[in-house]
Every structure is written in structure tokens, then in C-alpha cells.
Amino acid sequence: MLDPYHILDLSPAAGLAEARRAHQKLKNLYAFGTAATEGLLTDQERRVYLERLDQALAAVIAEISPGAAPIAVPQSCASVENAEKPDPATAPGAFLSWTRQQAGLSLRAIAEETKIGISRIEAIEQEDEASFLAPVYLRGFVHNIARALNIKNPQQFADLYLKKFQKPGPDM
């Protein structure tokens, strides 16, 4: 395997958080269906490159933090690439889950990045209204998750998410 730091475009002095960010950025860039690399790679080349990114991150993690658990990719690339992209306006939670899986990130990785509990992230992805906190907290959590997933305009996405669950007020 090539030097994992070279694959992730990192300095050998990089820390764990920087390695995870570099991995996520490259996974987003080379994910199936991204306009930036569409037509440049075959599906097989893309799959190999995405696997190489995961291996490089695992090697960097093992070097930086030998006792750390290996990275967990929630689904295989094949099942994620075949999943249809949910509409963020009608299924914002499913869109967050899909985006996370496209990036090859586990719930744990997002929880570590955002400092939001895994069960809370799952509730947001599943749009479990019974588990929601006050809207101000929910907006902040969704904003932070969207930002960690490199979703364009995370504040607008958070507002879109909350809009789905707003109860109509009385007419005056």
C-alpha cells in the first residue's frame, strides 16, 4: 500500500482529528454520484479508491493511537452506491443518514466529531419526534451534523429539518 499519509494528503505530524477530516473530505469528493469526479472514474476504480481511503485512515489511526478501535464503515460501498438519494425537503433525516453513509462514516465518527450522542444522532436520522428536545437544541444538533457531513449551508438545512416538524399555529 502507498504511504497512508500521502493517500490522505496529510503531514506525518497530523493528529487523529485532522486525519478523520481529510478522510471525510476525500470520501465526499470521490463518493458515488458526485459531480466533481463523475466521468473521471469507473465504478470499479471509484470503489477501489474509496477502499484505499478507508485502509489509509485505519493505518494512520493504528499508528497514531495503537489501542484505538478500527474505523467502522456502516455499509458496504455497493449497498450505499445503490441507495437512492432521499429528498432533503421531505425526508431530511434519511438524507442525513444517506449522506453519512455516502461519506463512509459511522454514527460513532459523527458523534466524536460533533460531540452529540449516538442515540440522539440516530433519533435525528430516523426523525423520531418522541426523542426530540426543544427546537432550539434540535436546530443546533442538526446544524452541527450537517456541518460535519459537509452539507452546503448547514443552517438552511437545519431550518428545513425543523420546518418538517412545525405544528401549525392557530389562525388569527
pLDDT in tens, 120-157: 999 999 999 888 888 999 999 999 999 999 898 999 99
Answer whether residue 23 is part of any domain.
yes
Res 1: pLDDT: 54
Which residues span the domain enclosing 19? Answer: 1-71
Q: Does 138 fall in a domain?
A: yes
The pLDDT assigned to 75 comes to 40
Question: Within 103-134, where are the H helices?
Answer: 107-114, 118-125
Residues 81 and 160 in one domain: yes
Of 95, 94, 98, nearest to 83 (Cα)? 98
Let me know if residue 22 belongs to a domain: yes
Tell me the pTM: 0.54
Choose the final residue of a domain: 71, 104, 129: 71
Phi-psi region of 46 (alpha: psi -120 to 50; beta: other; left: phi over 0): alpha
* Range list of β-strands (E), the chain: none
Q: Which residues of the chain have pLDDT under 50?
A: 69-81, 172
Q: Give the per-residue pLDDT at 79.
A: 43
